[in-house]
């Protein structure tokens, strides 16, 4: 002990000196300390009183459907319909006689749900009051009691996996999840989270990041299936709870024309691509291979847009993709982006085609004067115009292409890019400005034909800030095998699909109001 005492004293010198110095400085200001018993009593009261209040008035725990909602990826609610035939799901989970009896005496809602594995068999949940008391008291291994519900899985393993995902001490839901719960208890509705979106949408899931958690109330009208609800870009969004879920009548936008398979338009491209750009494996190649760095991405993100997918009855591609952007007053910045993109494409082996062809007259333009030349067959080399002479143009025509493989240094105001075998794989065009803002068309596939309408005007308005509109022809997409296999059969048979998203409430919250309709032809 004597050997360690000098070392102990040396270790104590630093805090002792510090306290002494602090005491010297503080000594100039009179201080009055509370007696130790009073201080201890105050601290004890501050800790004990809230604990006692929580014991007497605990925050309500989640029960039944609310607890179940936190452990599932996809859940659907259905109103009681005892006059209809017993669903196959009831017969498979309960057996014939019990399913018949329970189905006839149900009075509320029942639910089918999926746990972590959305592609697995569904699980049945129904009110315990629908079953005989003796059945509820002795449930089989693949069933469990959860509050006022009985949950029946296809097998004990599926039930165990669902049980592992539940939180026994879960608090009551708030915000968006609370409103989804109200929908599931009072209307025919569907709830999903990001896992379900990833399975159902497949490779298109990153485009739906703004809607990865949400719910919809579903109904019927004269045109088919309609829905109204809300979704969020993140889970656990807390907003002021509404008394009841609000039904918003889906607007009518008209059917998508036969020459299009899909059309998406929005107030800014960021609404569509933010999920893609949140991934480093996407951002890094854009910057390193194509020169689209942070500043150029900001230019892309804020541009109003319209995206179109068109079928191609012949040729090497099934469909072509067109992206039309409103460049506004920043055409020079967009041109620098295109010049950098053009150099990158040439470095990767693509070649600018030698053409002087227009994509067709703009709406309302009279094509009375022929173009300087017309494109020949794929791989053919048309004649090159004299660069010292002006190229004849027609008012309203899209800009012509006058690039060659040797013109790597020129500004590519318009370009069409080909592979080594001469097949056109894409390009871009500046649309005639007229009296409006500059608009840019980028395309993958052959050069677009026919008139191209400007977007964003009174004749072709875009959604308001924070809004997206999707229209598609699912049956035509399914015929070309361009839909993910997990898309429900009802959607695959639909002739038209419309989904509109609008910013909901506070602009700072990532919540969207969703409406839509599905037209199914028999």
Instruction: Tell whether 519 is covered by a domain.
Output: no
Distance CA 483, CA 502 (A): 25
Give the number of other CB atoms < 10 A from CB of residue 250. 20
Give the distance from CA 9 to its chain's centroid: 65
List 323's β-bridge partners, or say none: 307, 442
- The one-character DSSP state at 147 is T
Instruction: Tell whether 166 is covered by a domain.
Output: yes
State the residue range of the domain holding 157.
Answer: 65-172
Distance CA 227, CA 327 (A): 34
Which residues in 297-332 are b (16+ Cβ under 10 Å) and which e? bebbeebbbbbbbbbeeeeeeebbbbbbbbbbebbe
Distance CA 283, CA 281 (A): 6
Instruction: Tell whether 324 is covered by a domain.
Output: no
Backbone angle region of 512, left / alpha / beta, with phi > 0 → left and psi within -120 to 50 → alpha? beta
How many domains are there within the chain?
Answer: 1
Instruction: Tell whether 186 is covered by a domain.
Output: no
Instruction: Tell whether 350 is covered by a domain.
Output: no
**Per-residue pLDDT for the chain (522 aa), expressed as one digit of tens each?**
444 444 333 433 434 333 333 344 344 445 555 566 666 666 766 766 655 554 554 444 557 898 888 889 999 999 999 999 999 999 999 999 999 999 998 889 999 999 887 778 999 999 999 999 999 999 999 999 999 999 999 999 999 999 988 876 566 667 788 889 999 999 999 999 988 988 888 888 888 888 989 999 999 988 889 999 999 887 655 555 444 567 888 888 888 999 999 999 999 999 899 888 888 888 898 998 888 988 899 999 999 999 999 999 998 999 999 999 999 889 999 999 999 999 999 999 999 885 444 434 333 333 333 333 333 333 333 333 333 333 333 333 344 444 433 344 444 567 899 999 999 999 999 987 766 688 999 999 999 987 778 888 877 888 888 899 999 999 999 999 999 888 888 999 999 999 999 987 666 667 889 999 999 876
Instruction: Tell whether 221 is covered by a domain.
Output: no
pTM comes to: 0.74
Distance CA 250, CA 473 (A): 18
Instruction: Tell whether 130 is covered by a domain.
Output: yes
Instruction: Tell whether 196 is covered by a domain.
Output: no
Distance CA 395, CA 464 (A): 31
Which residues in 94-130 are b (16+ Cβ under 10 Å) and which e? beeebbebbbeebeebbbbbbbeebeeebbbbbbbeb
Give the distance from CA 441 to its chain's centroid: 24
Q: Are 158 and 166 in contact (CB under 8 A)?
A: no
């Amino acid at each position: 002990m004597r050997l360690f005492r000098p070392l102990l004293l040396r270790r104590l010198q630093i805090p002792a000196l510090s306290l002494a110095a602090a005491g010297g400085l503080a000594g100039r200001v009179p201080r009055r300390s509370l007696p130790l018993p009073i201080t201890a009593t105050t601290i004890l009261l501050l800790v004990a009183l809230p604990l006692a209040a929580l014991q007497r008035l605990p925050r309500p725990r989640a029960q039944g459907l609310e607890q179940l909602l936190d452990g599932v990826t996809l859940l659907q609610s259905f109103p009681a319909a005892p006059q209809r035939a017993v669903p196959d799901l009831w017969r498979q989970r309960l057996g014939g006689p019990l399913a018949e009896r329970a189905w006839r005496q149900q009075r509320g809602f029942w639910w089918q749900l999926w746990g972590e594995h959305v592609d697995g068999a569904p699980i049945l949940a129904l009110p315990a009051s629908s079953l005989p008391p003796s059945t509820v008291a002795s449930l089989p291994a693949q069933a469990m009691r959860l509050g006022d519900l009985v949950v029946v899985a296809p097998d004990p393993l599926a039930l165990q996996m669902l049980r592992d995902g539940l939180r026994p001490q879960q608090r009551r839901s708030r915000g968006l999840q609370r409103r989804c719960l109200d929908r599931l208890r009072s209307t025919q509705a569907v709830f999903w989270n990001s896992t379900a979106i990833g399975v159902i949408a497949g490779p298109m899931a990153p485009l739906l990041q703004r809607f990865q958690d949400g719910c919809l109330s579903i109904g019927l009208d004269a045109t088919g299936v309609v829905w109204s609800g809300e979704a969020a870009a993140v889970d656990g969004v807390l907003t002021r709870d509404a008394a009841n879920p609000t039904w918003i009548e889906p607007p009518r936008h008209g059917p998508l024309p036969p020459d299009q398979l899909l059309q998406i338009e929005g107030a800014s491209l960021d609404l569509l691509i933010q999920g893609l750009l949140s991934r480093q494996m996407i951002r890094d190649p854009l910057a390193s291979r194509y020169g689209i760095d942070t500043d150029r991405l900001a230019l892309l993100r804020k541009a109003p847009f319209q995206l179109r997918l068109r079928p191609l009855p012949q040729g090497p591609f099934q469909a072509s993709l067109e992206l039309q952007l409103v460049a506004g007053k920043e055409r020079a910045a967009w041109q620098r982006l295109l010049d950098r993109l053009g150099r990158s494409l040439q470095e990767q082996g693509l070649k600018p085609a030698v053409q002087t062809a227009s994509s067709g007259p703009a709406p309302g333009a009279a094509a009375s004067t022929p173009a300087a030349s017309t494109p020949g067959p794929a791989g053919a080399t048309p004649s090159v115009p004299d660069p010292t002479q002006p190229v004849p143009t027609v008012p309203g025509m899209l800009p012509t292409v006058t690039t060659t493989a040797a013109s790597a240094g020129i500004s590519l105001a318009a370009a069409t890019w080909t592979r080594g075998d001469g097949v056109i794989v894409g390009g871009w065009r500046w649309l005639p400005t007229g009296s409006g803002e500059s608009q840019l068309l980028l395309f993958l596939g052959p050069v677009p034909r026919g008139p191209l309408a400007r977007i964003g005007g009174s004749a072709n308005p875009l959604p308001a800030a924070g809004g997206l509109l999707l229209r598609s022809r699912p049956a035509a997409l399914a015929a070309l095998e361009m839909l993910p296999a997990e898309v429900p059969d009802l959607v695959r048979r639909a002739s038209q699909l419309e989904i509109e998203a609008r910013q909901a409430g506070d602009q700072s919250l990532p919540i969207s109001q969703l409406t839509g309709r599905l037209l199914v032809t028999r």
